[in-house]
Amino acid sequence: MGVSNKRPRQLNYSVNVKGAKSGNKVANTIKHYKKLQERIAFEGSTKWLINAMEIVLKKFKKYSVNINKI
């Protein structure tokens, strides 16, 4: 990296150039939740679906989405 008392040129970057990573995380989570509900109704409750539903419910809590309003 070089001498530490100089300005770190390689660490400077433009924040304005970087765009949003995902602007539709909540919409994707809602779609995933609905698809999992369909699969549970069709296949029954499997271990994989239970674990996937736990992850989706944690994402709803993280994004502060009320499940009753979906």
* pLDDT tens track, the chain, 70 positions: 555 666 666 666 665 655 667 788 999 999 999 999 999 999 999 999 999 999 999 999 999 999 998 8
Q: How far apart are CA 42 and CA 56, in angstroms?
A: 19
**CA 66 to mean position of chain CA atoms:** 16
pTM comes to 0.68
Q: How far apart are CA 69 and CA 24, in angstroms?
A: 18
Q: Within a domain: residue 34? A: yes
Q: How far apart are CA 36 and CA 59, in angstroms?
A: 14
Q: Is 56 helix (H, G, I), strand (E, B) or coil?
A: helix
Instruction: Please give the residue range of the domain that contains residue 65.
Output: 24-69
Let me know how long the chain is: 70
Q: Within a domain: residue 17? A: no
Q: Within a domain: residue 47? A: yes
Q: What is the domain count for the chain?
A: 1
Contact 52, 36 (CB under 8 A): yes
Q: Within a domain: residue 3? A: no
- Residue 43's pLDDT is 96
